[in-house]
Amino acid sequence: MLFAVKMDVEIPQDLDAAVREDLLSREKNYCQDLQKAGRWVHIWRCAGQYANLSVFDVADNDELHTLLWNLPLFPYMKVSVTPLATHPSALDAAAAAS
Amino acid sequence: MLFAVKMDVEIPQDLDAAVREDLLSREKNYCQDLQKAGRWVHIWRCAGQYANLSVFDVADNDELHTLLWNLPLFPYMKVSVTPLATHPSALDAAAAAS
Amino acid sequence: MLFAVKMDVEIPQDLDAAVREDLLSREKNYCQDLQKAGRWVHIWRCAGQYANLSVFDVADNDELHTLLWNLPLFPYMKVSVTPLATHPSALDAAAAAS
Amino acid sequence: MLFAVKMDVEIPQDLDAAVREDLLSREKNYCQDLQKAGRWVHIWRCAGQYANLSVFDVADNDELHTLLWNLPLFPYMKVSVTPLATHPSALDAAAAAS
Amino acid sequence: MLFAVKMDVEIPQDLDAAVREDLLSREKNYCQDLQKAGRWVHIWRCAGQYANLSVFDVADNDELHTLLWNLPLFPYMKVSVTPLATHPSALDAAAAAS
Amino acid sequence: MLFAVKMDVEIPQDLDAAVREDLLSREKNYCQDLQKAGRWVHIWRCAGQYANLSVFDVADNDELHTLLWNLPLFPYMKVSVTPLATHPSALDAAAAAS
Amino acid sequence: MLFAVKMDVEIPQDLDAAVREDLLSREKNYCQDLQKAGRWVHIWRCAGQYANLSVFDVADNDELHTLLWNLPLFPYMKVSVTPLATHPSALDAAAAAS
Amino acid sequence: MLFAVKMDVEIPQDLDAAVREDLLSREKNYCQDLQKAGRWVHIWRCAGQYANLSVFDVADNDELHTLLWNLPLFPYMKVSVTPLATHPSALDAAAAAS
Amino acid sequence: MLFAVKMDVEIPQDLDAAVREDLLSREKNYCQDLQKAGRWVHIWRCAGQYANLSVFDVADNDELHTLLWNLPLFPYMKVSVTPLATHPSALDAAAAAS
Amino acid sequence: MLFAVKMDVEIPQDLDAAVREDLLSREKNYCQDLQKAGRWVHIWRCAGQYANLSVFDVADNDELHTLLWNLPLFPYMKVSVTPLATHPSALDAAAAAS
């Protein structure tokens, strides 16, 4: 089941540099692990923004919430969620909705 | 080059039924032709909305505008466009940005 | 899987009275059938508004979209959807998320 | 009498960890006591948000305000309140409004 | 129990003049009857607006909804509702909350 | 002359406790003095909010501004002002506007 | 007593041309009569908008409302009102507040 | 050439008192010098707000920007600018636009 | 003196086709005449929108208003205006501000 | 390919003065280097705002993002991006879109 997720990031300028590096490194690993696991199926940078547009493929709302809640950068993000359904004009409808 | 496009549709209730059917049929064909041509790479229904979230892969802003402007339903849509760039954490960054 | 759904209704004043009555009657039947089927688990009137706040229990986003799209009043509604997950403080967490 | 309440939580990142833990622990106890007392009748997590959607069953506006004002996390919340009335299509209308 | 209610009115310019007059006359009577009954305790014109700010004193949310829903001008209004509680600094707290 | 005033309060969590207590105490005295003087004619708590809806009866805009500007909590408030006029349906129009 | 008033005008394109001309002519006369009477002390066109920013000098909120409500174009306007007080830095404070 | 300028001021509560006094004193002098020079032609307090509505008479956009940018309180202000043109109904059109 | 102008166009679907064509043809001529005259110095299509972002070079606010007010499509546009000043980092500052 | 970019700057008042000066100096150099390279083709100050409206000419979304992300002031900016296409009425359409 697919969800579009927009994440706007705002890390305070005065955050300790080492803490910041650690956060960003853990965020990248976390993100790539979920991509390899087939859960985080798309991630794009919104041009000119500290933000991304992503698509998640999860079993249900609880799994979606758990994945997002555990993002290392979650406390510094504004997150919006759009549940996605199959579009009747989509050629890949079956695959997209799986 | 990728763009996220959100399309909110509002067709007047009093539009002639035949005109409406024709519009919807042409819209579907137009959409599927662009999918086959590799230009309209994703289309998802936003659950509970007469709206879709799509991703286009085009040569430049002019091609994007031409494709959207010629949508049969364009006069009945509110369209918002987000230019997408490669995300540094994306495993498929090369492919995504192609 | 639960979703909160807010529906704001706006029926044009000049809609034919018989058409209106038919719409409202079909809407009520549709709503009560889904309640009996355990899909539309709560419906409350927002006081002072032609609007309701509802909770749906569905298998996935596609089912949610289908149920909402087929509402007789759907063309006259503005709908917003919030996917709900289990809250860690909920006593009835297991039941609520079923 | 029912009220829908949306609570968006934002706890400062620099809050002392022990203070934070104490707050969260007291919030959970407070929430579960009100559930047992039949006052806080639903609490759902909004997926991907540090937020919940809740339904309260109280005697009047004063009781609602007192319950919310005394939430341990109240100073860190943005709260919005929607008074709920019986919906004419609700099968459980009598129960819902009690 | 008190509620603040803001009503913004927008009557279509092309509404039949007699229908309009009848609506306005019935609205005035309805409003004054509720004032006499002690339900509509304040009504003020918002200066420069086709709008009013009112305070209702009702038994519960259901009564509030019924009173507002039956306003002759309800189909032409945008209504917003704020539940009011006793303020700890109010000298007339007891009276105000009665 | 009447004005509706909505006051949303936000006191920083890290304000010194004694300073806070002093502010709140002075605010309450200030508010009650103006009630006794017939200037602050209504004050209601907005349920679930650190906010109030008030009605002031003043000679003119300058007096209104002076009263609000001197609120001990003014630096911590977001204030919105709505000038009120007599409503033609008000039974107590003469008294309300006095 | 001064009020800033922003008026945004939207006259339907399909309004009968003679009705429109009559409205605009009466609006201009009404406006200039109030200027001569010292009530409508400033009127500026907002560049590029069918809108004006005006300043009224009236006895009280009731007079302001009456003047605005009787604007021939009132049914086609969105009006916002800001009560103005004397600014402590104004050299012409005494005059401005008169 | 006239511009309406709305200035919303927000000075941090923890700003050093002497710095604050100095800022306010310089702001007042700066404002009154521009009034004497015929550049800052109106300044009104928005009642109940730490805000003013002003009208500037300048040679061009560059002069307007320079005047505003050099306000001692500029770093603590949210500023919005509306270019004003002559209104065809203004009796003092020639003077107002000079 | 430069102004950025955003124009959002919305032509009713039921406008007579010949009227529409005439409007669009006159709009194009008007636009190109002002380009040749050095008044409308840039016009770009906002991709995916029936909108443009333009830059005008005019003597003052009155000229700007006159040019925009006389756009054949003005009654079908939502227009927003931003006065532009010389940027201190612009290499072409002198030219840009001319 | 052209993009309009609006940059709103907000530098904290308590930023160390030397750090601030260094930031501003590097920002100016960075901006002017991109102007010389033909990438940052316009920059205008929004009058009365700590903001600019700019136009970039880049190969694709990735280049745009890289240029903006590397702005020395990027962490202190709110950035919005509008992709621009050739307008059919533009006399310089070929040049503008190059």
Degrees (nearest 5) of the Cα angle F31, E5, H45? 50
pLDDT in tens, A11-49: 999 899 999 999 999 999 999 999 999 999 999 999 999
CB contact under 8 Å between A83 and C81, yes or no, is: yes
Best mutation target among C5, C13, C61, C73 (most B Cβ atoms within 10 Å) is C61
Q: Which pLDDT value is given to residue A57?
A: 98
Q: Cβ contacts of residue F92 below 8 Å, gap of 6+?
A: E35
Q: What DSSP letter does each residue of chain B carry, written as one string? A: -EEEEEEEE---TTS-HHHHHHHHHHHHHHHHHHHHTTSEEEEEEETTSSEEEEEEE-SSHHHHHHHHHT-TTGGGEEEEEEEEEE-TT-TTHHHHH-
pLDDT in tens, F20-63: 999 999 999 999 999 999 999 999 999 999 999 999 999 999 99
What is the mean predicted confidence (pLDDT) over E79-86? 98
pLDDT in tens, I5-60: 999 999 999 899 999 999 999 999 999 999 999 999 999 999 999 999 999 999 99
pLDDT in tens, F3-25: 999 999 999 998 999 999 999 99
CA B27 vs CA B30, B55, B74, B81, E93: distances in Å: 5, 16, 9, 19, 62
- Using CA coordinates, name the residue in chain H closest to I3: H61
* Per-chain mean pLDDT for chain E: 94
- Using CA coordinates, name the residue in chain H closest to G96: H44
By the 8 A CB rule, do E41 and F90 touch?
A: no
Distance of CA B71 to the CA centre of its chain: 8
Question: Total domain count for chain D?
Answer: 1
For residues J36 and J57, give the distance between their C-alpha atoms in angstroms, rounded to a whole number: 12
Check pLDDT > 90 for residue E68: yes
Look at residues A85, A30, A79, A18 and name the one whose alpha carbon lies nearest to residue A51: A79
Residue D92: pLDDT band with limits 50, 70, 90: confident
Q: Which pLDDT value is given to residue B96?
A: 47
For residues C21 and A22, give the distance between their C-alpha atoms in angstroms, rounded to a whole number: 62
**Which of helix, strand or coil describes residue G26?**
helix
Residues paired with residue G45 on neighbouring β-strands, in sequence order:
G52, H85
Q: Which pLDDT value is given to residue G93?
A: 65
Q: Which pLDDT value is given to residue H93?
A: 65
Residue A93: pLDDT band with limits 50, 70, 90: low
Which of C29-38, H24-33, H86-95 comes out lowest in average pLDDT?
H86-95
CB contact under 8 Å between F79 and H45, yes or no, is: no
* Per-chain mean pLDDT for chain C: 94
Look at residues G91, B80, I41, B12 and name the one whose alpha carbon lies nearest to residue J90: I41
Q: Which pLDDT value is given to residue C65?
A: 98
For residues D43 and D3, give the distance between their C-alpha atoms in angstroms, rounded to a whole number: 12
G-I C-beta contacts closer than 8 Å: 21
HSE (side-chain half, CA atoms, 13 Å) at D56: 27
**Chain H residues inside the 8 Å CB shell of G31:** 89
Task: Calculate how close chain A gets to J30, using CA atoms only, in Å.
Answer: 16
For residues A3 and B46, give the distance between their C-alpha atoms in angstroms, rounded to a whole number: 9
I-J C-beta contacts closer than 8 Å: 82
CB contact under 8 Å between D81 and F47, yes or no, is: yes
Chains contacting chain H through 3 or more C-beta pairs under 8 A: F, G, I, J
Domain that holds residue H18: 2-97
By the 8 A CB rule, do J2 and I46 touch?
A: no
For residues C56 and C42, give the distance between their C-alpha atoms in angstroms, rounded to a whole number: 7
- Using CA coordinates, name the residue in chain E closest to F36: E91
Look at residues B5, B8, B6, B3 and name the one whose alpha carbon lies nearest to residue B76: B8
Q: Which residue has the tokens 């504004």?
A: A78
pLDDT in tens, D25-62: 999 999 999 999 999 999 999 999 999 999 999 999 99
Task: Calculate how close chain H gets to J53, using CA atoms only, in Å.
Answer: 14
Torsion of Cα atoms, D46 then D47 then D50 then D55, to 10°: 20
- Which residue spans within chain F are E strands per DSSP? 2-9, 40-46, 51-57, 77-86
Say how many residues make up chain H.
Answer: 98
Residue F64 sits in a domain whose CATH number is 3.30.70.1060
Check pLDDT > 90 for residue C46: yes
Above 0.90 for ipTM, yes or no? Answer: yes
For residues H39 and J37, give the distance between their C-alpha atoms in angstroms, rounded to a whole number: 40
CB contact under 8 Å between J43 and I90, yes or no, is: yes
Which of C68-77, F89-98, G41-50 comes out lowest in average pLDDT?
F89-98
Of B2, B61, B97, the CB nearest to J84: B61
Check pLDDT > 90 for residue J96: no
Check pLDDT > 50 for residue F97: no
Q: Which pLDDT value is given to residue E59?
A: 98
By the 8 A CB rule, do H40 and H31 touch?
A: yes
% of chain J residues with pLDDT over 90 = 91
Q: Cβ contacts of residue C31 below 8 Å, gap of 6+?
A: C40, C43, D89
Q: Which pLDDT value is given to residue G92?
A: 76
Residue A92: pLDDT band with limits 50, 70, 90: confident
Task: Calculate how close chain C gets to E91, using CA atoms only, in Å.
Answer: 29
Has residue D95 been placed in a domain? no
Has residue D97 been placed in a domain? no
Burial of H43 (0-12, 13-18, 19+ CB in 10 A): buried
Q: What DSSP letter does each residue of G55-75 carry, written as one string? A: EEE-SSHHHHHHHHHT-TTGG
